[in-house]
Chain A
Amino acid sequence: KAGVTQTPRYLIKTRGQQVTLSCSPISGHRSVSWYQQTPGQGLQFLFEYFSETQRNKGNFPGRFSGRQFSNSRSEMNVSTLELGDSALYLCASSSWDRGNGYTFGSGTRLTVV
């Protein structure tokens, strides 16, 4: 059973650009969540999608957005990139009842220069 797949693994962008990150959840998982981890910080919750609907949202500016497709794949977009957006972005998926917790992907390392 394939795990959570995030692409790309590494990305370098310049300030002001926008970026789209992709996450393919485990087959059958309908809940996808996104987290940001900056150096020295814990996991900061961005948002969660379930059945193509945003169910929860963390405390991030509107430059951060996401969506989920009918096949449960999710994308996260960051517009007008800032240096402080450099981070590891983790995606996690879970089954509909989430009783077994999340399975995380290995993340996308975004560097903004």
Chain B
Amino acid sequence: KDQVFQPSTVASSEGAVVEIFCNHSVSNAYNFFWYLHFPGCAPRLLVKGSKPSQQGRYNMTYERFSSSLLILQVREADAAVYYCVIFCRDNYGQNFVFGPGTRLSVLP
């Protein structure tokens, strides 16, 4: 069964580098997407790819079955839910498989 795994919660101190890990069992995975979701707002794409990528303070590592989102100089305002999403191709075409989300808490 195609599944994506993430820790349910991660805690960090302000100013640190926080890592959110994701691994999956999705066959025919093509690439990773990392989304940020503040409650009540539209989830926002942070970084994506099938190789290590960086967008501002957000770095993404890449292995075939795992990826980590690294947030540099984390701030209290970064406290939100982060989703790891796998883009794959199957017999029915293309599909996205969402992870359960990781809730980040940031301590001042």
Interface contact tally, CB-CB below 8 A: 58
A4 and B40 contacting across the interface, CB-CB below 8 Å: no
Nearest opposing residue in chain A for B33, CB measure: A101
Q: Which of A65-73, A76-84, A103-111 contacts B (4 or more CB under 8 A)?
A: A103-111
In the complex, which residues of chain B have a beta carbon less than 8 angstroms from the beta carbon of A100? 48
In the complex, the answer to whether A109 meets B40 with C-beta atoms within 8 Å is: yes
Band of interface residues on A: 20 to 34
- Decide: A106 near B93, CB < 8 A? Known: A42-B98, A99-B87, A101-B48: no
**Complex CA distance for A44 and B98, rounded to whole angstroms:** 8
Does A20 have its Cβ within 8 Å of any Cβ on chain B? no
In chain B between 47 and 70, which residues have their CB closer than 8 angstroms to a CB of chain A?
Answer: 48
B: number of interface residues (CB 8 Å) = 25
Cross-chain contact B101 with A43 (CB below 8 angstroms):
yes
Chain A interface secondary structure, helix, strand, loop or mixed? loop
Is B85 in contact with chain A by the CB < 8 A criterion? Answer: yes
A104 to B85, CA, bound (A): 14
- State whether B94 touches A98 (Cβ < 8 A): yes
CA distance A97 to B93 in the complex (A): 9
Please give the residue numbers on chain B whose beta carbons come within 8 Å of chain A beta carbons, in ascending order: 30, 33, 35, 37, 39-45, 48, 81, 83, 85, 87, 92-96, 98-101
* 4 pairs of A and B residues whose beta carbons are closest in the complex: A42-B101, A104-B42, A42-B100, A104-B43
Can you list 8 A-B pairs, Cβ within 8 angstroms, ordered by A? A35-B98, A42-B101, A97-B94, A102-B33, A102-B45, A102-B96, A104-B43, A106-B40
